[in-house]
Each structure stands twice: as C-alpha cells, then as structure tokens.
C-alpha cells in the first residue's frame, strides 16, 4: 500500500502570526516542515529535516506568543496543547511565574501505509512494543496500527494522554478510523485510565503512547493478563535499554538475581549468583523503529531476554522496504553487548563513545582522576544541555529526578553504575571506553598462567580475589581453553579456581 500523508498544514499555519506564517510558503520542501520555534526575544525559526531557517529577523514578542495561544486548545499538565481536529502539537515554555515565554509548534502528520512493514505482526494478535528515538515516527506508526486493527473489526481503545494519537478536541481525528479514544486528564493518571479502558469498554486491543512509569508498566501487565492485545510505545531506542531500565524492565519480564547450586554454577561456568528473567514479558514482540522504511524486530522477547542475560545474542530480524515497496526480511549479524559494569543504552562504549559525558550524582573530580590513571580522553560536558550521554549511580537513577526524566525522553543515553565508588567508576569507564585496567591485565595474565599449569600438570590453581567483572572474564578465558572454573569465597575475597573437569 503506497503511503498517503495528511498533515492539515493550512490549519497549522493559520495559528501563526502573519509575519511568521508568510515566509513558510516560500521555503523549499515546505511540506517537510517539522516545527516552528518561537522564543521570546529571539527570531522565530522553522525546522526541516537537516536544516533550520530563520523566518523573520525581528524578535518574537509577547503579542506573537498570545496570537498563537489564543488560537489553540488549553495547555494540559504536561504543557502541551493542540489544534482541534488536527494532529499538531504545541508545547510551551513558562517562566517562574507560569507565563508562557516560548512555543514549540510541531507539525503532526497522519501517514497511511506505515504499518505495512509490521503488518503480519499486527494481525497476529501479539502484543507489540514500539521503540525508537524521538521524532522517528513511533506515534505515527502507533496511530496507523490502531486504524488497521479497527478496520479488521476489532474493538480498539486508544489511551490518549496528550491527544497526540487522535488529535485535540472532543472529536478524534479521522486517521484513527473506527478506533475509539479515551482522553487522559493529566499524565499522572495514565495508568488509571489504562485500567478504566479494560474495565469499562470491553476492548480487544488497547493502544498506549509512551509508557514511562512503574505504575504504567504495572497497568500494562494487568491488561495483558486479561487477554487484551497491547500495542504501545516506550522510552528507549532498543530492547537493551528496557532490560537495563529498572523502571520499565517489567515490560520485558524484569530481571532478578538468582543463586545457583554449586553443580549448576559449575555446569554453566559462571558465578553462583546470576541474573535471570523474573516473569513472562508483558509484550510478545519488540519493534525497534529506525525509520518508516526500516525496523529491527525481536520476535520472541522471552527468548531474547533470556539469551541476553546469559551473554548470548539472538540477532533481531531486520526489515525494510525495497525500491519497489516490497518487504525484505533478514537476520542481522550478532550485536556487541554493552560493556559489563555500565548499565544503560546501547549507544557509546567500545562502538563509538560520546564526546560529551555529563556526571549526574557522580564525583566529577573522581571521574577525572580515574580517566587520567586509565589514560582515557574524557570530555566532560559543562551542563546537561550539551551532554551526549549521562553517567549516574543507581541511587540517583532510582529516584527518577526530573533532569534525568527529561534527558531520557529526549533520547540522551543514560549509563548507570552500581555506586559511585572509585572501583565502580574505574570499572565502568574502562568498559565504556573499551580499555583494560592495570589490575585487569594482571588478573588475566595470572589466569593464563594458571590455565597453562592445569593443562600441563593437572590439579587446581586458586587465583587472587577479583571483582565480579574480572572473575567473569577469567571464567570466559577458562572456557576458551576448555578447562573448568568456579568462584569460591565471599566478597571482597571471592576468587576463581581453575581445574580440569571430569573426563578431560
């Protein structure tokens, strides 16, 4: 099905002051307009893919702001408003007294045909979770999924928190077809409206945009357990992000530490305490949206998460539309895992670390000292605005401060250390930048010597106590040389024993 775009651009332009609206008609690729930004005391700007354009040399005035505000709906608790019966979204900036001093006027588009790339998954009845960076088209695809399922004759209810899916006003936008829409009074009540949708309206499918809190994740699990198909988006670019996000990991089954028996730990060649999936995933399938024409699909989330926790990688199915509009499916090559010791997004680390790292709740001076000792070219951001990635500790991340929530929503990768000790910072930076610590090099040399001794003379060799990460590397080295290993003792003196297994 060819894509059909409906953008209601005339209604959008009609809300702008004439001196700002008029130049928009003279721009190249005017139909590609993404948003218009109006900040008090600055020239207004139009944003297009890959370029920004100043629309007028004069500064935005309070009258310009009032002109737009008077022509749109009321701002909600999330500081978002819309234009009735369109998909456009206007977000405001306020000063300390609550007065609007800036506007981000974003063009909303209904794109029919975007669901083609995952149509088989949609029609299968599986619960789908859509992931992707801001602006990649998650909400557009979600809206189209709702329409397609409703046209199939299913009872579809949309939980529309900011009126982004079905537009502003009491009458939903035609882009959702026969689907019905429940509006949410305030974002804090989204989880309650999700449950209300199940209890009051007998849906077969519930569509939700931006699951972002523990309460919403719990509500999603409750809905799935009642046999309702779920289609939703969530914060995060990849499945890895969700597994490592303590707030949302329940969507893919959650993670918990499990203590193994000696025999099982020996069989697995691992420590006695390992991470395992806590429960069945809420969503059967995770779709990582790279563009409207390309996605990566994890078709069995339970199996993928289990393999991830065993440090094995099940590559996602890559899908795209070729030049003839035909769907192509291939299995991607195995991905590198995120370095152990650093919890967070898949971006960065050994595969190209960010240039600007911002420490949030982590000692900047300690970070710089460790970087010097490891000879790492650390470049720290002065503030969150210029950060390309954020490094924080688990204690701060669990509090979910507003700054971290905003950064995560904006797609900035957040890496979480177990704590902010020098040892954890050293381990995290070493893994993040793909370098080895001096203690790590010595520990691996010791393990190599022990393995050689065991292969030549038999017996058992006890190594020096090491951190969990270094012990894991020593176990992997032993496995590579086909000798057995086990961890014994208690922290901080837990250590690896190398020996020849039975029958070797």
Whether 344 maps to a domain, the answer reads: no
Whether 390 maps to a domain, the answer reads: yes
Task: Spell out, as residue ranges, where the chain has pLDDT lower than 70.
Answer: 1-2, 268-272, 311, 313, 331-355, 398, 400, 423, 431-432, 434-441, 469, 502-504
pTM (2 decimals)?
0.62
Whether 153 maps to a domain, the answer reads: yes
Taking the C-alpha atoms of residue 71 and residue 208, their distance in angstroms, rounded to an integer, is 28
277 in the same domain as 302: yes
79 in the same domain as 9: yes
Q: How far are the Cα atoms of 90, 158, 163, 164 from residue 138, in angstroms, in the given order? A: 18, 15, 14, 11
Of the residues 411, 433, 455, which one is the last residue of a structural domain?
433
Q: Which residues lie below 8 Å from residue 446, measured CB to CB, with a gap of 6+?
A: 463, 464
Whether 410 maps to a domain, the answer reads: yes
41 in the same domain as 174: no
Of the residues 433, 466, 489, which one is the last residue of a structural domain?
433
82 in the same domain as 142: no
489 in the same domain as 356: no
For residue 285 the two structure tokens come to: 């399938």
For residue 231 the two structure tokens come to: 């289609």
Whether 365 maps to a domain, the answer reads: yes
139 in the same domain as 14: no
Q: How many domains does the chain have?
A: 4
Can you give the residue range of the structural domain that contains 488? Answer: 440-499
Say what the alpha-carbon torsion angle 298, 299, 303, 304 is, to the nearest 10 degrees.
Answer: -10
Whether 178 maps to a domain, the answer reads: yes
272 in the same domain as 194: yes
Give residue 363's pLDDT. 83
357 in the same domain as 323: no
Give residue 342's pLDDT. 39
**How deeply is 411 buried, as exposed, middle or buried, from its count of CB atoms within 10 A (0-12, 13-18, 19+)?**
middle
Q: How far are the Cα atoms of 179, 245, 274, 405, 465 from residue 398, in angstroms, in the given order? A: 36, 9, 21, 11, 30
Residues 84-122: tens digit of each pLDDT: 989 999 999 999 999 999 999 999 888 888 888 999 999
Q: Which residues lie below 8 Å from residue 468, measured CB to CB, with a gap of 6+?
A: 271, 494
Whether 231 maps to a domain, the answer reads: yes
429-439 in b/e form (b: 16+ CB < 10 A) is bbbbbeeebeb
CATH number of the domain at 215, please.
3.40.50.300
Give residue 354's pLDDT. 52
Listed residue (294, 316, 318) closest to 303, CA to CA: 316
165 in the same domain as 246: yes
Question: Phi/psi class of residue 327: alpha, beta or left (left: φ > 0; alpha: ψ in -120 to 50)?
Answer: beta
Taking the C-alpha atoms of residue 192 and residue 248, their distance in angstroms, rounded to an integer, is 17
- Decide: helix, strand or coil at residue 106: strand
Of the residues 63, 86, 106, which one is the last residue of a structural domain?
106
Give residue 437's pLDDT. 57
258 in the same domain as 120: yes
Whether 504 maps to a domain, the answer reads: no
Residue 437's φ and ψ, nearest 5 degrees, are: -75, 155
CA Rg value for the chain: 26
CATH number of the domain at 41, please.
3.30.450
CATH number of the domain at 400, please.
3.40.50
264 in the same domain as 190: yes
- Kindly state the DSSP code that residue 204 receives in the 8-state scheme: S
Taking the C-alpha atoms of residue 7 and residue 156, their distance in angstroms, rounded to an integer, is 23
- Position of tokens 């381990």? 427
Give residue 441's pLDDT. 64
231 in the same domain as 186: yes
Listed residue (268, 398, 281) closest to 343, CA to CA: 398
């Amino acid at each position: 099905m060819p894509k059909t775009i409906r953008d209601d651009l005339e209604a959008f332009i009609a809300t702008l002051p004439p001196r700002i609206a008029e130049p928009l008609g003279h721009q190249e690729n005017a139909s590609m307009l993404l948003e218009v930004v109006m900040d008090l005391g600055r020239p207004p700007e139009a944003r297009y893919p890959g370029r920004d354009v100043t629309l007028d040399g004069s500064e935005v005035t309070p009258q310009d702001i009032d002109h737009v505000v008077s022509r749109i709906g009321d701002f909600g608790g999330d500081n978002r408003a819309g234009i009735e019966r369109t998909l456009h979204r206007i977000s405001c900036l306020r000063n300390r007294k609550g007065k609007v001093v800036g506007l981000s006027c974003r063009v909303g588009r209904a794109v029919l045909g975007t669901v083609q790339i995952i149509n088989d998954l949609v029609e299968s009845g599986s619960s789908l979770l859509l992931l992707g960076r801001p602006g990649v088209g998650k909400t557009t695809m979600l809206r189209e999924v709702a329409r397609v399922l409703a046209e199939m004759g299913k009872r579809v209810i949309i939980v529309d928190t900011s009126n982004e899916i079905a537009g502003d006003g009491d009458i939903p936008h035609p882009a959702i077809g026969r689907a019905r829409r429940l509006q949410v009074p305030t974002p804090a009540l989204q989880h309650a409206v999700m449950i209300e949708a199940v209890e009051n309206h007998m849906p077969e499918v519930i569509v939700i945009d931006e699951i972002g809190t523990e309460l919403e994740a719990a509500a999603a699990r409750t809905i799935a357990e009642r046999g309702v198909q779920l289609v939703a988006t969530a914060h995060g670019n990849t499945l890895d992000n969700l597994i490592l996000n303590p707030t949302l990991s329940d969507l893919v089954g959650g993670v918990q530490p499990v203590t193994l028996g000696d025999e099982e730990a020996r069989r697995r060649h691992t420590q006695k305490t390992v991470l395992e999936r806590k429960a069945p995933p809420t969503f059967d399938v995770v779709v990582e949206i790279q563009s409207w024409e390309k996605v990566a699909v994890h078709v069995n989330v339970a199996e993928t998460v289990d393999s991830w926790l065993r440090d094995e990688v099940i590559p996602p199915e890559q899908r795209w539309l070729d030049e003839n509009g035909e769907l192509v499916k291939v299995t991607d090559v195995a991905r590198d895992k995120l370095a152990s010791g650093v919890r967070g997004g898949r971006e960065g680390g050994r595969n190209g670390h960010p240039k600007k790292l911002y420490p949030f709740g982590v000692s900047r001076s300690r970070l710089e000292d460790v970087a010097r000792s490891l000879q790492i070219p650390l470049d720290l951001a002065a503030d969150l605005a210029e950060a390309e990635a954020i490094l924080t500790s688990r204690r701060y991340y669990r509090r979910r401060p507003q700054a971290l929530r905003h950064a995560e929503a904006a797609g900035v990768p957040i890496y979480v250390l177990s704590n902010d000790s020098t040892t954890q910072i050293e381990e995290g930076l070493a893994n993040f930048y793909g370098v080895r610590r001096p203690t790590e090099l010595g520990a691996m040399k010791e393990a190599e010597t022990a393995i050689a001794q065991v292969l030549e003379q038999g017996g058992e060799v006890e190594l020096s106590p090491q951190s969990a990460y270094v012990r894991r590397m020593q176990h992997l080295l032993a496995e590579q040389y086909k000798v057995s290993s086990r961890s014994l003792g208690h922290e901080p003196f837990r250590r690896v024993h190398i020996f020849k297994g039975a029958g070797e």
